[in-house]
Structure 1
Amino acid sequence: MIQFTIKQNDFLSKEIEAFSHTDYIGYDRRDEIENYPMYLLTLKNDVNRNWRESLLKDAQKSLLAALSSDLPEIIDKIEPENLTVCVVPRAKKENSYRKDQLLFKETIRIAVNKLGDDFIDGTQFISRHTNTKTTHLRRPIDDYDNDGSEPYPGISGNTCNFSENLRGRDILLIDDIYTENINIDEDMIQALLDCEANSVTFYAVGKTIH
């Protein structure tokens, strides 16, 4: 596991302690990363892909293994009484996705409920109600309207619903891939702070390197 700091910027009012499972790089350079997390691409399961059920289950198993290893280690490092685990929602309204396109969040829910009292399931505490731009798509996809705004300060608060149960909690916010300067995660962290979370720690399975 890799430990790093998310820096304060126009999207985020203070530095945040963060962790990732592995380095990440674009698919076309995947051979540069040992044990490349291909399962993340499978679980994104974007519009024109229809993966076999067995492939999706294998991807879930790989993600579950990473979470089961890393999340207890995070608890040991930051020593909160417990952590409420939330997930950065996908870019479009949740009801616009098929069930098999939401397996990243579902796998996190499964992991949290297996790991015991140190973790609280907050995977339903954030939901997207307004589409935003899907930033990881490098080129257009046939029959896919990538509508919505690019990241701007406050976009999370304007496009997501946040549960009142966030107030006063120590949050572990999880995303699949963290890329510096995109600022999706920074803005979501700030939204949680604005919801009066006691603290926010961030975890991404993959952290983009250049």
Structure 2
Amino acid sequence: MTPFTIETNQYLTQETQGFYHTDFGGVNLPNNPNYLYKLKNDPHHNWSDDWIRQSQEQLYRVLLIDLPEVQNHIGKNPLTICVVPRAKADNTYNPNQLLFKAGVRNAIITLGNSFIDGTNYIQRHTNTKTTHLRQPIDGYNNDGSNPYVGITNATCNISNNVVGKDVLLIDDIYTRTVNIDEDAIQALISKGAKSVSFYAIGKTVFNH
């Protein structure tokens, strides 16, 4: 687990403490968290059930180690755990395409009362552009807007349960300049969260 600072920009009005588990540089690089691809379980990949199960176990092990370390570093107890939603509206995915969120929830349950389950506190109701796709995929309609200031508030419902809470916002991959995470952090701050920190499994070693 490595700390870093998410800097202010037009999406985010205050510096935010961030953490990540490992570098994310592409499928062929050593130590890349390739299991994250499988947790999305999109139909064009056709992952086997065994690969998906192994990926869930990898995520679970990482979170059980990292989340207590993040909490100790932040010094907030309890921490309310929120998850950045996938790009499309939540009701367009089946449960097997939301395995990252489910993995975070399972880790919270195991870790106990130091963490509050807020994994459903941010719900996407309107499609946005999937930003990580390098090229079009046959049969996949990547509709919706590219990131813009305020996209989280415009396309998501945020629970009032974040008000007054110390929040740890989790995403699978953080990429500087995409600004989805920055915008989500700002949305939580504007909603009334007492504090917001950030954690990702992977942090890209390049920008796109």
Q: Normalising by the residue count of structure 1, what TM-score does the alignment of the two structures yield?
A: 0.96
Q: Does 1:173 align with 2:174?
A: no
Task: Report matched runs for 1:17-96 at 5 Å.
Answer: 17-27=17-27, 30-31=28-29, 33=30, 35-96=31-92
Q: Distance in 1 between the 2:2 and 2:75 partners? A: 17
Match of 2:113 in 1: 117
Match of 1:195 in 2: 191
For 1:161, which of 119, 132, 157 is the aligned residue?
157
Per the TM alignment, residue 42 of structure 1 is displaced from its structure 2 partner at its CA by: 1.0
Whether the aligned pair in 2 keeps the contact of 1:93 and 1:129 (CA below 8 Å) is yes
For 1:126, which of 112, 122, 127 is the aligned residue?
122
Per the TM alignment, residue 52 of structure 1 is displaced from its structure 2 partner at its CA by: 1.6
Give the counterpart letter for 1:25 in structure 2.
G
Structure 2: runs of 5+ lacking an equivalent: none
Give the counterpart letter for 2:19 in structure 1.
F
- What do the CA deviations read for 1:139-180 (whole angstroms, capped 9, x no partner)? 101111100000000000000011111100000000000000
Point out the more displaced range, 49-58 or 67-76.
49-58
Aligned residues: 206
Match of 2:2 in 1: 2
Q: Distance in 2 between the 1:160 and 1:15 partners? A: 23
Q: Which runs of 4+ in 1 moved over 4 A?
A: none
Match of 1:14 in 2: 14
Whether the aligned pair in 1 keeps the contact of 2:76 and 2:166 (CA below 8 Å) is yes
Per the TM alignment, residue 41 of structure 1 is displaced from its structure 2 partner at its CA by: 1.1
Give the counterpart letter for 2:32 in structure 1.
Y
Whether the aligned pair in 1 keeps the contact of 2:167 and 2:197 (CA below 8 Å) is yes
Whether the aligned pair in 1 keeps the contact of 2:26 and 2:32 (CA below 8 Å) is no
Give the counterpart letter for 2:10 in structure 1.
D
Whether the aligned pair in 1 keeps the contact of 2:172 and 2:200 (CA below 8 Å) is yes
- What do the CA deviations read for 1:8-63 (whole angstroms, capped 9, x no partner)? 00000000000000000123xx32x3x22110111122241222211111000000
Give the counterpart letter for 1:124 in structure 2.
N
Q: Secondary structure at the match of 2:96?
A: helix
Q: Secondary structure at the match of 1:175?
A: strand
Whether the aligned pair in 1 keeps the contact of 2:19 and 2:199 (CA below 8 Å) is yes
Structure 1: runs of 5+ lacking an equivalent: none
Give the counterpart letter for 2:187 in structure 1.
A
Q: Secondary structure at the match of 2:77?
A: coil
- What do the CA deviations read for 1:97-146 (whole angstroms, capped 9, x no partner)? 12211000000000001001110000011110000000000010111110
Percent identity over the alignment is 54
